[in-house]
Amino acid sequence: MKKINSALVSVYHKDRLDEIVKLLVDNNIKIYSTGGTYDFIKKMGIETFTVESLTQYPSILGGRVKTLHPKVFGGILARRENETDLSQMAEYAIPEIDLVIVDLYPFEETVASTTNQAEIIEKIDIGGISLIRAAAKNYNDVAIIPSKEQYDFLINLLKEKKGCTTLEDRLYLAAQAFNVSSHYDSAIFGYFQTKTAIDAFKFSVQGKQEMRYGENPHQKGAFYGDLDKVFEQLHGKAISYNNLIDLESALNLVNEFTETTFAIIKHTNACGIASRSNPVDAWKAALAGDPVSAYGGVIVTNCVIDLETAQEINKLFFEIIFAEGYNDDALEVLKTKKNRIILQKKSNTYSPVQFRSVLNGVLVQDKDLKVETVEDLKVATNKQPDSSLTGDLLFANIVVKHTKSNAIVVVKDKQLLGSGVGQTSRVDSTNHAIEKAHEFGFDLNGSVLASDAFFPFADCVEIAHKAGVIAFIQPGGSVRDQDSIDYCNKNDLPMIMTGFRHFKH
């Protein structure tokens, strides 16, 4: 156990500082402080000493240099059991500093709130981060409070342990300190990396949410991030690892539609999706696409759910529902199942970059944010699609983009009729999509087909046409594109080539 006899306090945010300072005084701890922190403590009527009184040197360069001085860092870094260190401290009149309390400049918040580079640069903390690293390095003798997140821990030390710390306490705080400092430096690097290309991958996320388990019960799982920025959970059990993976796929899909749309997701793929003029019709059409697979799925919509729609949805067992909002009476209906997870959207803003662990490293890519519009469409055939077919083709193209490769989807009247998902052959995906549609009694005559990648041969087009498909959309790019085009021309069918592949693995 080591007794805290002196503390250096230098914080940006003053939240709960009064509570901390009173406890320092109660434990007879001498307080050194800087700038605004000194003014705050003095206004409380509590004795504190300026860092300038310790260093005999003023704060200079507009406050950029306050604590960067041997008398400050010597007091922190001195090894209390090292005779040479103690001798030099005595020689240069350097007092021991046993506790450092720091709260860094809000760099990330500043980047998020302004594009003013001068303002951003000024929020790069120098003295504070140096104090954190110094105190953490010397955790054998010094306790470090690197952010207000550790205030509760400190308050407990001051109340329950009367201002004493164990080596275990100090080691824990040192780990927290390097967590704070490494995250802070990663954020700064991330900002500068947007200004100049540096070949390095650094990504730091605070906030761990334990999952019950990972993808399977024998795997550990956790989420790092802030889900509260994405949605508000209104009801239900804790969200699982697999729930989050499905939810991301669901949101990426539905966010690309402007019409009232419902989608049902199973294992990251849409088993049903439809757009209609009102919520209840959109729901019924989405469910009709595959009512068997919909069982236990994730429901997502870009509209507010009313009572009539909620009553229809409530007939199905499902894990999660995510919506723009809920009418009060609709919410009461959906809450009748205690474990059902009900989420309401807060934000549509997600990272434009994706990464995943592969082998002994990380793959990084831009997110596939391309959404084809009418202007992107290049008709490769003699036959032109009319406006109704074009609407279905664009709808199908969005759905296939969010379907595991090899992917084929068949659509009619902005309703998914069948999909071929994750097959090793595009022909298999085509046959599977047709079989699924027939399984649920859909008439494919007049339908359209979308492919996530080019047709290597004309076989998929021929198979689909014989089943009733009358229009196609695909990226193009095969050395044998002309085979598919010739088949369509021979049978008076329109085919659109977008020039954009949408593999999803």
Q: List pLDDT tens digits, range 263-314.
A: 999 999 999 999 999 999 999 999 999 999 999 999 999 999 999 999 999 9
pLDDT, position 150: 94
**What is the spatial distance between Cα 92 and Cα 71, in angstroms, rounded to a whole number?**
8
DSSP helix/strand/coil, 343: strand
Q: How far is CA 259 from CA 122, 262, 277, 321, 466, in A?
A: 45, 10, 7, 18, 31
**How many angstroms separate the CA atoms of 94 and 179, rounded?**
29
Arithmetic mean of pLDDT, 197-202: 86
Tell me the three state secondary structure of residue 148.
helix
What is the SS3 assignment for 344? Answer: strand
Please provide residue 208's backbone torsions phi and psi, each rounded to the nearest 5 degrees: -100, 130
The one-character DSSP state at 414 is: T
Is residue 137 among the annotated active site residues?
Answer: yes
pLDDT tens, position by position, 397-442: 999 999 999 999 999 999 999 999 999 999 999 999 999 999 999 9
pLDDT of residue 250: 95
Q: Are 487 and 461 in contact (CB under 8 A)?
A: yes
What Rg, from alpha-carbon coordinates, does the chain have? 31
Verify whether residue 69 is a known catalytic residue. no
Residues forming a β-bridge with 270: 265
Among residues 14, 123, 267, 383, the one annotated as catalytic is: 267
Q: What pLDDT digit, counting tens, does each position of 14-39 carry?
A: 999 999 999 999 999 999 998 889 99
What are the φ and ψ backbone dihedral angles of 383, each rounded to 5 degrees? -80, 130
CA dihedral over 78, 138, 167, 160, signed as positive or negative: positive
**Nearest to 372, CA basis, from 390, 349, 346:** 390
Give 60-86 pLDDT, tens digit per residue: 787 777 777 888 889 999 999 999 989
Side-chain half-sphere of 92: how many Cα atoms within 13 Å? 18
Cα 254 to Cα 223, 340, 391, distances in angstroms: 23, 20, 16
Bridge partners of 164, per DSSP, are 3
Predicted confidence at residue 167, as pLDDT, reads 96
Q: Inform me whether the pLDDT recorded for 236 exceeds 80.
A: yes
Show the DSSP H helices in 304-425 as ranges.
307-313, 328-334, 387-401
Q: For residues 7 and 9, what is the distance between their CA atoms, to the nearest angstrom?
A: 6
Report in angstroms the alpha-carbon separations of 289 from 268, 292, 377. 16, 9, 27
CA 106 to mean position of chain CA atoms: 20
Q: What is the mean pLDDT of residues 202-214?
A: 89
Mean pLDDT over 442-466 rounds to 96
Phi–psi pair at 135, nearest 5 degrees? -65, -40
Range in 50-54, 91-95, 319-323, 495-499 the model is least confident about: 50-54
Going by C-alpha positions, the residue among 269, 245, 282, 499 that lies closest to residue 402 is 269
| Amino acid, single-letter form, for residue 197 | A
Query: Is the sign of the CA dihedral 33, 36, 42, 46 positive or negative?
Result: negative
Catalytic hit among 14, 30, 123, 137:
137
DSSP notation for 53-83 = HHHT---BGGGTBSS-SHHHHHHHH--TT-H
Convert the pLDDT of each residue in 101-126 to its tens digit.
999 989 989 998 999 999 999 999 88
